Amino acid sequence: MKDWKLIDPRIQAKETPFTFYLPSSTLLEKLQAKDSAKLIFELLEAIPDGPRAERMWVTITERKNDVFTGTLENKPDYIKNLNPGDSIKFANYHIIDTSIPDPESKKFDYYFDNFCVVNRRIIENDYQPNFVIIDEPSRSNDIGWSVHAEGEDEEFTSNSENYIVVPIGKVLNADPRLADLLGKQAPCCYEIGNSGKWEIVDDFDWDAYYQ
């Protein structure tokens, strides 16, 4: 009895578009026999302290339009009735990576490799960002952002544990509107206005900020 199923990764990619890479449609069209595709195999029964899925490679042996057949390359760590060489049938939308370089994947490097400071409630408790300070970066992989949310009184802001450093892609997943601020020239400051869009704060007290 099969103890796994293939995951449709488009669902997670829609929820976290800045950190979940999917191959471009142009690249998927190029796939043919002998190329490799990576898929997500979900375990149908939960394993205590184990993962809910395994990511493994399949060598394509046949293609019919957008449906593929291939052989499993990897030995699963947790899925019991799958072995290297087993035949796997899958659709193009199941593929999360390929053996063919994808130029469009490079944009994800920026979202993973560059960092900002953020109110941890935004990441951990789904608070909405409402205020962003953009300063000169202090490191090569720092974009200079400090992302804030409502409820930040003096006591909150004075505790550094209330803020964390995360990849910029994680913050953009929390609120895609922040993408509108990418590339803004520092120093500057923005807040969410009545329109629900980012508006520049002209009277921000930079002298007090730098003290």
- Is 160 inside a domain boundary? yes
pLDDT score at 114: 95
Among 120-134, 139-153, 171-185, the range scoring the smallest mean pLDDT is 139-153
Instruction: Report the alpha-carbon distance of residue 32 to residue 127 in Å, rounded.
Output: 45
- Same domain for 118 and 98: no
- Same domain for 53 and 145: no
- Is 64 inside a domain boundary? yes
- Is 109 inside a domain boundary? no
Q: By the 8 A CB rule, do 134 and 189 touch? A: yes
- Is 27 inside a domain boundary? yes
By percentage, how much of the chain surpasses pLDDT 90?
82
Domain of 79, CATH number, reads 2.30.30
pLDDT score at 32: 97
Number of folded domains that form the chain: 2
What mean pLDDT value characterizes the chain? 94
- Same domain for 98 and 31: yes
Residue 79 domain boundaries? 4-104
User: Is residue 1 over pLDDT 80?
Assistant: no
Summarize pLDDT for 152-186 with one digit per residue, the tens: 888 898 899 999 999 999 999 999 999 999 999 99
- Same domain for 94 and 130: no
Summarize pLDDT for 79-121 with one digit per residue, the tens: 999 999 999 999 999 999 999 998 888 888 999 999 999 999 9
- Same domain for 69 and 138: no
Q: What is the largest CA-CA distance in the chain?
A: 68
- Is 184 inside a domain boundary? yes
- Same domain for 46 and 13: yes
Provide the residue type at 169 as one letter.
G
Peptide linkage before 129 cis (omega within 30 of 0): no
- Same domain for 125 and 83: no
Q: Which residue has the higher pLDDT, 65 or 150?
A: 65
User: Is residue 2 over pLDDT 90?
Assistant: no
